[in-house]
């Protein structure tokens, strides 16, 4: 299982990280089962797949999974108070979700750059009135323009702490999402179990700890949210099997360092 943002493409320009395209080719040449697991919520799945392919990542539909592909399983079209980028809100409305900030069935959170305290207060009030608290994913950090902001996971935990209400997660690292990804791997090799799978990501808290909990091997790349092992050293033991500067280093392509 391979993360996309911060692992295959950089967080700034959304372009391939050096060596990443060659890594995917190497995996394919070795006939190794794989699936790209991304937290994309700003574009329809087909559009984002096309974008990645235009960058040189050539893969089949069976090798890709994002939260939008499984959203209906957890939260079928209903009234929602949705928070995220404008493209995300427009995408939801096209899918039949009705924006309602008075008495929604659920508060649905994705990422955007400019969350406000007023929005957090509104989320709290709606959840206290009985709305479900749902995150499109549980990303720990949102990296943008050289700065790091609280990710969806951090916001979910804040609202949950404030209200005493548990939250649900559509994408990574929810068990349901990972099991869907495992099923796609099993379509390539039916014998596979979580213990056979390696999860590669730049998000230790939002991806890899959840993967390790399910028995997967975990590899952290320092090409995205985390720039130094020192930033997360207390969390490495028991959670991370390998650390590398980038995904190319994990696969011995070009320069890079592993630890």
Please indicate, yes or no, if residue 256 is contained in any of the structural domains: no
Q: Do 62 and 75 sit in the same domain of this protein?
A: no
- Residues 77, 127, single domain; the answer is yes
Residue 208 shares a structural domain with residue 245: yes
Same domain as 51, residue 100: no
- In terms of domains, do 86 and 147 share one? yes
What integer pLDDT is reported at residue 174 of this predicted model? 98
Indicate whether 188 belongs to any domain. Answer: yes
What is the rounded CA–CA span in Å between residue 171 and residue 147? 24
Of the residues 141, 169, 197, which one is the last residue of a structural domain? 169
Instruction: Give residue 153's domain range.
Output: 71-169
Q: Are residues 142 and 179 in the same domain?
A: no
pLDDT score at 146 = 80
pLDDT tens per residue, the chain (259 residues)? 999 999 999 988 999 999 999 999 999 999 999 999 999 999 999 999 999 999 999 999 999 999 999 999 999 999 999 999 999 999 999 999 999 999 999 999 999 989 999 999 999 999 999 999 999 999 999 888 788 999 999 999 999 999 999 999 999 999 999 999 999 999 999 999 999 999 999 999 999 999 999 999 999 999 999 989 999 999 999 999 999 999 999 999 865 444 4
What does the radius of gyration of the chain's CA atoms come to, in whole angstroms? 18
Residue 227, pLDDT score: 87
161/155 Cα distance (integer angstroms): 10
- Please indicate, yes or no, whether residues 88 and 163 belong to a single structural domain of this protein: yes
The closest of 7, 52, 19 to 199, measured between CA atoms, is 7
- Domain match, 181 and 159 both: no
Indicate the number of domains in the chain: 2
Within a domain: 15: no
Three-state SS letters, the chain: CECCECCCECCCCCCECCCHHHHHHHHHHCCCCCCEECCCCCCCHHHHHHHHHHCCCCCCHHHEECHHHCHHHHCCCCEEEEECCHHHHHHHHHCCCEECCCCCCEEEECCCCCCCHHHHHHHHHHHHCCCEEEECCCCCEEEECCEEEECHHHHHHHHHHHHCCCCEECCCCCHHHHHHHHHHHHCCCCCCCHHHCEEEECCHHHHHHHHHHCCCEEEEECCCCCCCHHHCHHHHCCCCCEEECCHHHHCCCCCCCEC
Residue 12 lies in a domain: no
Q: What is the pTM of this model?
A: 0.94
Size of the chain in residues: 259
Distance (Å, whole) CA 2 – CA 209: 14
Rounded CA separation 253/259 (Å): 15
Do 91 and 56 reside in the same domain of the chain? no
Same domain, yes or no: 75 and 160: yes
Find residue 218's DSSP bridge partners.
Answer: 199
Query: Of 123, 150, 169, which residue constitutes the final position of a domain?
Result: 169
Q: Tell me, yes or no, whether 84 and 134 share the same domain.
A: yes
Determine, yes or no, domain membership for 176. Answer: yes
The residue assigned the tokens 């990972």 is 178
Q: Is residue 11 part of a domain?
A: no
| CATH label of the domain that carries residue 105 | 3.40.50.1000
> Are residues 76 and 58 located together in one domain of the fold?
no
Domain boundary among 137, 169, 201: 169
């Amino acid at each position: 299982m391979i993360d996309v943002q911060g692992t295959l493409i950089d967080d700034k320009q959304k372009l391939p990280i050096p060596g990443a395209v060659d890594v995917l080719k190497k995996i394919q040449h070795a006939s190794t089962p794989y699936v790209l697991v991304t937290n994309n919520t700003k574009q329809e799945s087909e559009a984002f797949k096309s974008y990645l392919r235009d960058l040189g990542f050539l893969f089949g539909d069976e090798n890709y999974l994002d939260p939008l592909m499984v959203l209906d399983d957890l939260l079928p079209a209903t009234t929602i108070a949705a928070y995220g980028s404008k493209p995300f809100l427009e995408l939801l409305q096209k899918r039949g979700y009705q924006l309602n900030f008075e008495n929604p069935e659920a508060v649905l959170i994705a990422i955007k750059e400019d969350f406000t305290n007023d929005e957090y207060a509104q989320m709290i009030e709606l959840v206290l009135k009985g709305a479900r608290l749902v995150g499109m994913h549980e990303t720990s950090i949102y990296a943008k323009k050289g700065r790091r902001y609280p990710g969806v996971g951090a916001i979910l935990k804040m609202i949950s702490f404030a209200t005493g209400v548990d939250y649900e997660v559509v994408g990574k690292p929810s068990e349901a999402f990972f099991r869907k990804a495992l099923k796609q791997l099993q379509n390539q090799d039916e014998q596979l179990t979580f213990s056979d799978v390696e999860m590669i990501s730049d998000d230790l808290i939002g991806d890899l700890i959840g993967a390790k909990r399910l028995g997967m091997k975990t590899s952290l790349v320092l090409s995205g949210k985390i720039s130094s092992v020192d930033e997360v050293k207390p969390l490495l033991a028991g959670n991370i099997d390998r650390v590398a500067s980038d995904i190319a280093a994990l696969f011995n392509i070009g320069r890079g360092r592993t630890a």
